Structure 1
Amino acid sequence: MILLAKLKRLKQNKGFMKYFKNTSWLFAEKILRVFVGIFIGIWIARYLGPEQFGLLSYAQSFAALFTVFATLGLDQIVIRELIKDESARDKLLGTAFILKLFGAFAVLIAIACTALSGVNTSAASFLILIIASSTVFQSFNVVDFYFQSKVMSKFVAFANVISLAVSSLIKVTLLLNESSLITFALVSLFDAFILAGGYIYFYLQNNLKIIKWSFDGVLAKALLKDSWPLILTGVVISVYMKIDQIMIGDMLGNKAVGEYAAAVKLSEPWYFIPTIIASSVFPSIINTKKNSEKAYYERLQKLYNLVVKIALVIAITITFLSDWIINLLYGSEFSQASSVLSIHIWAGVFAFLGIASRKWFIAENLSMLSFWRTFFGMVINIVMNILLIPCYGIQGAAVAILLSQISVAYIFDFLCHQTRAKFFMKTKALLLISGK
């Protein structure tokens, strides 16, 4: 019995170290990306100024509303299926790749039609089309799904670091040579190309062959049947995360978008923390549920507790330092961004919870409920933006996103009987009450 207990503990320790190392690789890459991204992003913003930076941010936000369709909501579904049955790897990856590729081309056609309709200016439409073209190369991120399912994210981290290094070098070169706005949009397309090449390289280095990928029509229908609620959820998430910048642009102009986007660039990058934590422990959470329902919910509570504590430290620190941060990093041209940052950063507390709890919906096969949760938040955000932007400008948009995040990640759980237990778990986390 003692020997069996020791073997069990050894197995648990090995499992813990496996997930810890996986998380560490992802954290290291994302931390590097955040700091390099903030540094380069601030340099670009200062170089372009609020007006042109606002136009670029507007184009990125508008493109995001379309490009979310190209993912087809397949990410977590494919990872789940790979965990269940690795023998179907080549068929799963091949089918997901073809579906995402078709989705990418459908998005480009939709954007081209929008451009011809005259919804945006010709300059904005051209920028949007360039940025959205990156979705073609993003089809290769199915390789990332495989590495996630095998808890081998160090290869994903390597590919991302290579892409980041090349991209940063190009952007610095463009800045030093005082390049035009359009060249900065083209870099996003090249980024996707380099990242796809990195994924392919590390996949092949693991003695795996893309040539073995195959498309299965029956499997494609099954995947889309499971993923269509996630497609809708992704669209709704994109709308409530990006619609503020589009509405600001339409109501207040590009300069206001630039000031607002400057604050968002310092607020939203932190969202990588719960994303990485949740993605790394997702296989573990699913496996725990097979063995013990109690342990399953204990792990969820610990996850909520952890992400809230991290988010509160970030929010409190940045709130007190927002004026100093904006003046130091962006300069007086972006002075309005400081008040936006001090509000917007608090949306992160609930965004952290929302990202962490999203895994629960997938594990419980409640994708449709996840959609309605996100739809609820989107409606709140749009309505609040309509009411607050004309009266309070970009500060009103920051309040709108805060209210929408609270609605999605917290209030909805209380309103729905299927998620009410999660509301009390999150309340414990928000009140910093320890416990299982």
Structure 2
Amino acid sequence: MRIPSIPGFDQQALEKYFKNTGWLFIGKVGGLLIKMLVSIQVANYLLPENNGIVYGGTVFIYLFSAIASLGLDQFIVKELHQFPENRDQILGTSFWMKICAGFACFPLIWIAYQLYPPEGTPYKYVLIFSAIGVIQAFTVVDSYFQSQVRSKYIMQVQVTGNIISAIIKLALIYLHAHRVAFVYAFTFDFVLISAGYYFTYQREGRSVFNWAFNWSLGKKLLHHSWPLIISGIMVVLYMKIDQIMLQNICGPAEAGAYSTAANLSEAWNFIPSIIVTSLFPAILNAKRDDPERYKKRIQNLYDLMVYISLPIAICITFAAPIVYMLYKTQYAHAAPTLAVHIWSGIFVYLGAASSQYLIAEGYNKLTFVRTGFGALVNIGLNLILIPKMGMMGAAYATLAAYASATFFILFIPKVNKQGIMMLRSLFLISLFQKITKR
């Protein structure tokens, strides 16, 4: 099947990179469908209060996973592109850095829990979830296959892992398991994926036992990635802090209902990362060869993000009441929250594209400056809106935080043109211009 041409992109590049994207989409969409159906069953089994108690523990892990990953994934792909002959040192160094960072997060998570524990969530649950920071070190294999544009292997691992995970969770429901069993099951999901990465990498003459640590390379990677570590923390703060604040202000039951809306809304956020991962190599080639084409491709990327995210937001807004017919009646009041929360996805998509531009241009520090601004906006608005509006207040705060973080670059002179380009896409100005030229 021939892939339709998109103005500004070479057809040959599209064929190569979208075929890779296709495999990623198959894996992610397959995993999304499985996860959504199973998560609905788990939520209906646990009911809002227990669901909120379990989900509250994951927020700490999302926060510290940014530290445990060290922001290395994008730089691993870049290093493998530039120095493929150093594969074993690049992967080995990154792997052991992530292992060390994962263990270093254990005391940090304990301190964070002591300072601001989510109401009703025992530390035992948080401790179990903490193991994810170490387990996820095998994601370096994902970066390797991305660098090879061979994402079908990642798709196979993810789909297989999701199927096994679904079977385990459904079995726990059938056996009327205690809620702590689902904490172990969620953590075991990452064990499954990591095992899949290991066995997939071992094929075709590769071996993780050939990986080696290189101190100078480790210093180099950390020097470039530290802004992304801070940025990752800020992203999680303005994406997940509302969950803990809602749990502590309104109780676990309200947080449990809100988590269903947030998860359904954020489930679509894998799309921009896949598109950016697959298309940005072609955009970087244009940067090297033709500055004017580079600018056009960036604009086309922003346009594409809006073309995809806007229909999703519209469809989910109208479908929210129907979606919540799949949940028990205790969750029905979360449907309007989903209809609001889903619109934040538009800014997530644009932000993902513009972040890649900032990295390509060497403006790494700006990524955590703007996400830090978004985090402050989210925390401030949550403090004001949650006591008055409950979960709907958290949704409005999230929407405002995402928008403010994405368009913060309008106030930075050296990159404010990117903000204008995103506004052109958001208000469909670029689309109308393309239509009128034809």
TM-score range (shorter-chain normalised) is: over 0.9
Q: Which residue of 1 aligns with 2:5?
A: none
Greater shift in the superposed pair: 253-262 or 316-325: 316-325
User: CA shift at 1:294, angstroms?
Assistant: 1.5
Q: Which residue of 1 aligns with 2:27?
A: 29
State TM-score, norm by structure 2: 0.93
User: CA shift at 1:196, angstroms?
Assistant: 1.2
Q: Which runs of 5+ in 1 are unaligned?
A: 1-11
When residues 114 and 360 of structure 1 are mapped into structure 2, their CA distance, relative to the original with a 3 A threshold, is closer
AA partner of residue 91 (structure 2): L
User: Is the aligned partner of 1:360 residue 2:357?
Assistant: yes
User: CA shift at 1:116, angstroms?
Assistant: 6.7
User: Is the aligned partner of 1:371 residue 2:368?
Assistant: yes
User: CA shift at 1:74, angstroms?
Assistant: 0.7
Identify the match of residue 210 of structure 1 among 204, 208, 211. Answer: 208
User: CA shift at 1:132, angstroms?
Assistant: 2.0
Kept after mapping to 1: 8 A contact 2:24/2:155:
yes
AA partner of residue 314 (structure 1): I
Q: Which residue of 2 aligns with 1:350?
A: 347
CA distance in 1, matches of 2:147, 2:35: 27
Kept after mapping to 1: 8 A contact 2:54/2:121:
no
CA distance in 1, matches of 2:179, 2:249: 23
User: CA shift at 1:282, angstroms?
Assistant: 2.3
AA partner of residue 28 (structure 1): I
Q: Tell me the SS of whatever aligns to 2:373.
A: helix
Q: Tell me the SS of whatever aligns to 2:353.
A: helix
CA distance in 2, matches of 1:117, 1:383: 18
AA partner of residue 410 (structure 2): F
Kept after mapping to 2: 8 A contact 1:149/1:283:
no
Greater shift in the superposed pair: 66-75 or 240-249: 66-75
User: CA shift at 1:114, angstroms?
Assistant: 4.9
Q: Tell me the SS of whatever aligns to 1:205.
A: coil
User: CA shift at 1:138, angstroms?
Assistant: 0.8
User: Is the aligned partner of 1:414 residue 2:413?
Assistant: no
AA partner of residue 399 (structure 1): Y
Q: Which residue of 1 aligns with 2:428?
A: 432
Identify the match of residue 184 of structure 2 among 183, 186, 190. Answer: 186
User: CA shift at 1:408, angstroms?
Assistant: 1.1
Identify the match of residue 398 of structure 1 among 382, 390, 395. Answer: 395
Q: CA offsets per residue over residues 296-328 of structure 1, 9 Å max, x none?
A: 2211111111111111111111212222322x1
User: CA shift at 1:118, angstroms?
Assistant: 8.7
Kept after mapping to 2: 8 A contact 1:240/1:401:
yes
State TM-score, norm by structure 1: 0.93
Q: Which residue of 2 aligns with 1:84?
A: 82
CA distance in 2, matches of 1:339, 1:18: 41
Q: Which residue of 2 aligns with 1:6?
A: none
CA distance in 1, matches of 2:397, 2:121: 28
CA distance in 2, matches of 1:173, 1:115: 31
Q: Which runs of 5+ in 2 are unaligned?
A: 1-9
AA partner of residue 215 (structure 2): G
Q: Which residue of 1 aligns with 2:337?
A: 340
Q: CA offsets per residue over residues 383-432 of structure 1, 9 Å max, x none?
A: 1101111111111110000000110112x121111221111211111111
Q: Aligned-residue CA RMSD in angstroms?
A: 1.7
CA distance in 2, matches of 1:23, 1:260: 31
CA distance in 2, matches of 1:118, 1:300: 41
When residues 123 and 268 of structure 1 are mapped into structure 2, their CA distance, relative to the original with a 3 A threshold, is closer
User: CA shift at 1:110, angstroms?
Assistant: 2.4
Q: Which residue of 1 aligns with 2:7?
A: none
CA distance in 2, matches of 1:414, 1:115: 36
AA partner of residue 348 (structure 1): G
Q: CA offsets per residue over residues 186-238 of structure 1, 9 Å max, x none?
A: 11222111111111112121322212211111111111111110000000001
Equivalent residues in 2 for 1:50-129, closer than 5 Å? 50-114=48-112, 119=117, 123-129=121-127
Q: Tell me the SS of whatever aligns to 1:336.
A: helix
When residues 419 and 118 of structure 1 are mapped into structure 2, their CA distance, relative to the original with a 3 A threshold, is closer
User: CA shift at 1:137, angstroms?
Assistant: 1.6
Kept after mapping to 2: 8 A contact 1:83/1:283:
no
Q: Give the number of equivalent residue pairs.
A: 423
Q: Which residue of 1 aligns with 2:385?
A: 388
AA partner of residue 365 (structure 1): G
When residues 120 and 349 of structure 1 are mapped into structure 2, their CA distance, relative to the original with a 3 A threshold, is closer
Q: Tell me the SS of whatever aligns to 2:231.
A: helix
Kept after mapping to 1: 8 A contact 2:60/2:126:
yes
CA distance in 2, matches of 1:54, 1:117: 19
CA distance in 2, matches of 1:306, 1:16: 13
When residues 68 and 360 of structure 1 are mapped into structure 2, their CA distance, relative to the original with a 3 A threshold, is same
Q: Which residue of 2 aligns with 1:43?
A: 41
CA distance in 2, matches of 1:345, 1:199: 32
Identify the match of residue 141 of structure 1 among 139, 142, 147. Answer: 139
Q: Tell me the SS of whatever aligns to 2:390.
A: helix
Determine what percentage of the aligned residue pairs are the same residue.
38
Kept after mapping to 1: 8 A contact 2:246/2:386:
yes
AA partner of residue 400 (structure 1): A
Q: Which residue of 2 aligns with 1:9?
A: none
User: CA shift at 1:67, angstroms?
Assistant: 2.4
CA distance in 2, matches of 1:137, 1:28: 24
User: Is the aligned partner of 1:18 residue 2:16?
Assistant: yes
AA partner of residue 153 (structure 2): F
